[in-house]
Amino acid sequence: MQRPSLVVLKIGGKVLEVPSELQKALQYFAAIEGPKILVHGGGKQANHIISALDIEPKMLNGRRITDAATLEVVTMVYAGLVNKTVVSQLQALACNAMGLSGADGNMIRAHKRIVKTDDYGFAGDIDEINAAAIQQLLDLGFCPCFCAITHDAKGQLLNTNADTIASQLAVAMAKGYDVQLQFCFEKAGVMTDPDQDDSIIPVLTPSLYELHKGSGAISGGMLPKLDNAFAAIDAGVSAVWIGHLMALQTGAATKVTAT
């Protein structure tokens, strides 16, 4: 029996910052037929407010270090301003979105990242996706719209990488769906030179990834995104695409494959 299709779309970067780009991305999502899930970041918006409050943004290996003050800000920005802006605009497009954090309905349970060599503060690593609850929302015709906030089921909110959330959601739902995971940001795809649009890698395999990572051509925030993409493919997600909106629409984005 053929499984139904499901699209998990993650939007981030300048797509969230520029109103016209966000509107185009949401129009694209709203037009997708069948079940779908949206995941969004909001790091750049959070950085603006963090800086305005004289809190120094701290990053390590492409990921945010979340101290107590930063956690308060990212919760307000991700679960509040950005999430409700996205949901309200989707409603205007006749897409019945429901804004969620991981705490709502116990959808995404995580734990505070264990300190080994680097301390990421209140960063959350996912323990469990409540696929049954998400399935109920999809069956009722809702489009879940997740921000990057999770919880530990003990009252502690946690900041979890939005790419990780998108990847884990795709994996959890792949048990019942033919899932396509799409990462939408401002670049045409994964590039060997971010400043050269013609350096896009059309198909990225694990060996090619290791090669470009070793040379430094792929670095920074692209590393966790690709780690999540390959983890999703290895766990049964049918396809993973990375690129800007036009590239995703035309199939010109980078396709991540297992071989």
Domain total in the chain: 1
Range of the domain at 249: 5-256
> Does residue 77 contact residue 146 with C-beta atoms inside 8 Å?
no
* Residue 179 CB partners (closer than 8 Å, separation 6+): 5, 6, 7, 8, 170, 171, 173, 236, 237, 238
Percent helix, strand and coil across the chain, each to the nearest 5? 40, 25, 35
CATH of the domain at 55: 3.40.1160.10
| Residues 67-82 pLDDT 10s | 999 999 999 999 999 9
Give the lowest-confidence range in 31-40, 80-89, 115-124, 139-148: 115-124
- The pLDDT, as a whole number, for residue 109 is 98
What single-letter amino acid sits at 86? Answer: V
Q: Give the three-class secondary structure for 85.
A: helix
- pTM summary value: 0.93
- Joined together, the tokens standing for residue 101 give 């954090």
How buried is 170 (Cβ within 10 angstroms: 0-12 exposed, 13-18 middle, 19+ buried)? buried
Q: Which of 210, 218, 164 is nearest to 187 (CA)?
A: 218
